[in-house]
Chains A and B, each alone.
Chain A
Amino acid sequence: MQENRFNPWLHRYAVLVALCALGLIAIGGLVTSHGVGMAVPDWPTSFGYNMFALPFSLWLTGGVFHEHTHRQWASIVGVLVVILMRWVGGRKACKPLLIIGGVELLVGFALPLLGAEWKGGGYFLSGIGGVVLLAGIVWARNDPAPGNLPKLGWSAFWLVQLQGLLGGLRVVLDAHVFAGTKLGVVFGIFHGCLGQLFFVLLCIIALMTSRWWLERGVSKDESAVPDATPRGLLIATTALIFLQLILGATMRHQHAGLAIWDFPRAHGQWWPDMSDAAIQQYNATRSEVVAADPITAAQVGLQMVHRVGAVLIFSAVAVCFMRLRRSADVVLRRLGLGWLLLVLAQAGLGAWTIWSNKAADVATLHVVGGALSLVLGFLISIIALRFNFRCCTGGQNLASNAA
């Protein structure tokens, strides 16, 4: 069937885009780990310059390097995603892309008419519109990719733009306060979490464009023996990991440094004292090297919940691994083992983050490990939902093909 034809270049390209998104998460992680999210105080311009024309002397200055590289890298990922969307969407995507690109271009040019403060944003939107328009007018008349890939492509297309906007708002609205909370913090947390989901989406596209996925087919054999794949547990564990990532993003974006700086104990105890006197004591005795805000009882509690969450996740993944070991499918067994090892490494990185007093590179590795753990959970869950891995006693692969 042509519908399921494997396109090796599309798959390689999808993998490349996913890897670039992982790189973007890493650089974004470095921005937050170094506490330099506001090193470039304007957006989409950089110190008043066009983002793509910032002098190198400024780009290479202190924290500007991380923040501006994040912006540049994000722009590249944006272009790559538009191309990916056009590729998986096929010729059917041309018309919508032309319309969307045209509208963005026109709105972008119109925005500066509202006032000088809209000039940068307007030109930025025009730039996006130009790229989208270009994708719509490319000559290639390829067929759409099979299955849900065009829909996933469109999702990535909108998500990357929303993600860029959130990143910009995190800077522009940093000083604004809503309901007692700085909007910079709120948008930073959303931006961090959505970035993880965006990466997941790109990995799903990479998976679904793979030969393995396309040629394996779907088992809908209702008469088959019910398999032993713990789908509910896999999904619940993945959801737990995402909750853990939200907690992590919340901790990181409060810019208070480590709320607890010892491990496995917490301020010398198995459960830390969170009274006002104790919090005052913690703040008085810590010597912060960077401009961290004073820690609060809520932040201490948040880190403890994160620690408990880590134990729960490790236990859940260990159970998933034990269940997947009984699967007849070698891929699932390997993925289960990989997930367990990854979560184990991630727990180690979490401990190392504390022991290193939140060294930026270690904390960022912890973020990347979290992203990979989430992706693996999603991919295993999707594979388990897609295929019917019937359990058997032998080591052979019994996943059946619908065809």
Chain B
Amino acid sequence: MKKVIALVVMGFTASLIAGDLTGTVTLKGTAPAEKEITPLKEDATCGKLVSGTPKTTHYVVGAKGELANCVVIIKGVPGAKSTGASAAPIVVDQKACIYNPHIFAAQTGQKITVKNSDPVMHNVHTSPTAAGASEFNTAQMQGAPDLSLTLDKPESFVKFKCDVHPWMFAYCTVVDHPYFAVTDKDGKFTIKNVPAGKYTVEVAHRKAGTTSQEVEIKADGGKAEFTLEAK
């Protein structure tokens, strides 16, 4: 009985001791060249919203290889469950006929708000492939109210696309707990309030693939550096 009580107390205490996991993801090697999105420039309406010809953003890499748009997920956090229903919405904007952000992550059940800041109709079409997940496909006129949707099954890189402007696409990784982040343009990420412990942390980039490592998070947090190789 004493052992059980001790274990419960230890577990409770550990859950109270939480720190932030911070780190950086770096790309080793040279990323493939991005392509010009010529259909955007050639479109009668969208072409007027941009100066020059925008390029694809499959690899967003800093001068020292800092890799943006990587989804970092901590695996196996005890008792972790989705807080998506009460979390702040993720906001995705369709601006200048491009999805912004291109890569994002959300919890299951978390509201995703899709704005249309363009003077043209778009079509928001999600393509989840997880069993039981259903597609969302709705036209959004210019000036129309924001669309709101949720993704309810965990899945990596669910595609969002505009069928009206097929060069417009983005990806959302859906996680069933709050311990994840997406790297910024400096390749940095922060995952807040992670219960102390040893975990496997996985990094996934849509093109460069995945990598993982064991990381210990203490009361004062933890750090992790990841490297992905350009294919």
Contact = CB atoms under 8 A, between A and B. Distances in A.
Given A63-B163, A175-B137, A287 B33 contact: yes
Contact of B164 (A39, A175, A285, A288): A39
Interface in B23-76: 32-39, 43-46, 56, 58
Contacts of A287: 32-35, 56, 58
Contacts of B33: 287
- With most chain A CB atoms within 10 A of its CB, the pick from B33, B46, B207 is B207
A108 interface: no
A288 B231 contact: no
A269 interface: no
Nearest to B32: A285
B208 interface: yes
A289 interface: yes
A39 B123 contact: yes
A403 interface: no
Q: How large is the interface on A (under 10, 10 to 19, 20 to 34, 35 or more residues)?
A: 20 to 34
Contacts of A41: 123, 125, 137-139, 163
Nearest to A62: B164
A6 to B, nearest CB: 48
Given A41-B125, A287-B33, A36 B44 contact: no
Interface in B164-178: 164-169
A268 to B, nearest CB: 14
A63 B45 CA distance: 12
Interface string B105-128: 000000000000000110101000
Contacts of A36: 163-164, 166
Contacts of B120: 61-62
Contact of B163 (A39, A47, A280, A286): A39
A174 B46 CA distance: 27
A153 B131 CA distance: 45
A205 interface: no
B159 interface: yes
Given A62-B164, A64-B164, A38 B137 contact: yes
B167 A291 contact: yes
B114 to A, nearest CB: 15
A63 B43 CA distance: 10
B206 to A, nearest CB: 9
Contacts of A286: 32
Contacts of B45: 61-62
Given A60-B44, A284-B209, A291 B231 contact: no
- With most chain A CB atoms within 10 A of its CB, the pick from B35, B46, B123 is B123
A290 interface: yes
B121 A63 contact: no
Interface string B199-213: 000000001110000
Interface string A255-291: 0000000000000000000000000110111111111
A291 B102 CA distance: 12
B44 to A, nearest CB: 7
A210 B74 CA distance: 73
A243 interface: no
B134 interface: yes
Contacts, number: 87
A188 interface: no
Interface string A285-317: 111111101000000000000000000000000
B188 interface: no
Interface residues of B, number: 38
Interface in B129-182: 134-135, 137-139, 159, 161-169
A280 B208 CA distance: 9
B56 A38 contact: no
A99 interface: no
A313 B139 CA distance: 43
B46 to A, nearest CB: 7
Contacts of B165: 62-63
A348 B166 CA distance: 27
A226 B16 CA distance: 95
Contacts of A39: 123, 163-164
Contacts of B58: 287-288
A39 B139 CA distance: 8
A71 interface: no
A291 B169 contact: yes
A47 B166 contact: no
Nearest to A41: B137
Interface in A26-42: 34-39, 41
Nearest to B58: A287
A228 B44 CA distance: 57
A289 B159 CA distance: 14
A290 B35 CA distance: 11
Given A41-B138, A280-B231, A291-B167, A62 B43 contact: yes
Given A38-B125, A284-B208, A290 B166 contact: yes
Given A41-B139, A280-B209, 13 more contacts: A37-B163, A38-B123, A38-B125, A39-B164, A41-B123, A41-B138, A41-B163, A61-B45, A62-B43, A284-B209, A289-B37, A290-B39, A291-B168
Interface of A: 34-39, 41, 47, 58, 60-64, 174-175, 280-281, 283-291, 293
Interface of B: 32-39, 43-46, 56, 58, 120-121, 123, 125, 134-135, 137-139, 159, 161-169, 207-209, 230-231
15 contacts: A37-B163, A38-B163, A41-B138, A41-B139, A60-B44, A61-B121, A63-B166, A280-B231, A284-B32, A285-B207, A287-B32, A287-B34, A288-B58, A289-B37, A291-B169
A-B interface, 6 closest residue pairs, ranked by CB to CB distance from nearest? A284-B231, A291-B169, A175-B135, A291-B161, A62-B164, A38-B163
